[in-house]
Chains A and B, each alone.
Chain A
Amino acid sequence: DQQVKQNSPSLSVQEGRISILNCDYTNSMFDYFLWYKKYPAEGPTFLISISSIKDKNEDGRFTVFLNKSAKHLSLHIVPSQPGDSAVYFCAASRWDDKIIFGKGTRLHILP
């Protein structure tokens, strides 16, 4: 039973445009959501997070939106840059529990 779902295995976006990565979750008890970025042959690195009491969190070019009623969150990257090409993992947790990851979306930024 996959509690965190990333339905798009890959996404291609033109450099300079907006990248939108989507994530759905099934467990309404999740109250903290994170995005991680992973380059080949490296471990995932933390990118941005949001708690369930908020619906938006912004950090530079990265913004995460949370829609609790739809159990959906998204990561917006604008403008997209070549160095953003990576695998992005959506993750979620309950306050006192382990972090659950989705399968990831591979983002390709096209020149």
Chain B
Amino acid sequence: NAGVMQNPRHLVRRRGQEARLRCSPMKGHSHVYWYRQLPEEGLKFMVYLQKENIIDESGMPKERFSAEFPKEGPSILRIQQVVRGDSAAYFCASTPMEGTGSEKLFFGSGTQLSVL
């Protein structure tokens, strides 16, 4: 009865490197959300995906950030050329069906990204 799995738990990158964050949703869940929590801030929506499709990416920065959820395998949040301001906790959440607003999200434990 595995929950939402995120890896790695901690990721350290130097400025200019790439960061790849992985998320495997709960069994039977086909929709994934990514949220970012900056220090002393709340959870900010980034992107909402279903298999092979981006539903809503209105919270994603226009440059350097991308997300995918392939037919097979985990969802990936990719940050190219990281900067110090990207340091944050990145949380993935999944739901069993298309968001109706009433579906609660099941969160993973997050990936703490630190950019040196």
- Say yes or no: B107 contacts A32, CB within 8 Å: no
Task: Pick from A63-71, A78-86, A97-105 the stretch touching chain B.
Answer: A97-105
- Say yes or no: A45 contacts B107, CB within 8 Å: yes
Of A34, A42, A97, A104, the residue contacting B104 (CB under 8 A) is A34
Tell yes or no: B48 within 8 A of A by CB: yes
- Say yes or no: B42 contacts A103, CB within 8 Å: yes
CB distance from B9 to the nearest CB of A (A): 8
Residue of chain A at shortest CB distance from B43 = A101
Within 8 A of A (CB), among B94-110: 99-102, 104-110
- Say yes or no: B101 contacts A97, CB within 8 Å: yes
- Say yes or no: B104 contacts A44, CB within 8 Å: no
Of B56, B100, B104, B107, the residue contacting A43 (CB under 8 A) is B107
- Say yes or no: B42 contacts A44, CB within 8 Å: no
- For chain B, the bracket of interface size reads 20 to 34
Residue of chain B at shortest CB distance from A31 = B101
**Given A98-B45, A101-B43: A49 and B104 within 8 A (CB)?**
yes
Chain A residues near B99 (CB-CB < 8 A) = 93, 96-99
Question: Chain A binding site: helix, strand, loop or mixed by DSSP?
Answer: loop
- Say yes or no: B43 contacts A89, CB within 8 Å: yes
- Say yes or no: B4 contacts A43, CB within 8 Å: yes
Chain B residues near A97 (CB-CB < 8 A) = 56, 99, 101
**Given A43-B91, A44-B91, A101-B35: A96 and B100 within 8 A (CB)?**
yes
- Say yes or no: A98 contacts B91, CB within 8 Å: no
Chain A residues near B44 (CB-CB < 8 A) = 101
- Say yes or no: A100 contacts B106, CB within 8 Å: no
- Say yes or no: B105 contacts A46, CB within 8 Å: yes
- Say yes or no: B101 contacts A94, CB within 8 Å: yes
Q: Give chain A's interface residues, CB within 8 Å of chain B.
A: 4, 6, 31-32, 34, 36, 41-46, 49, 51, 89, 93-104
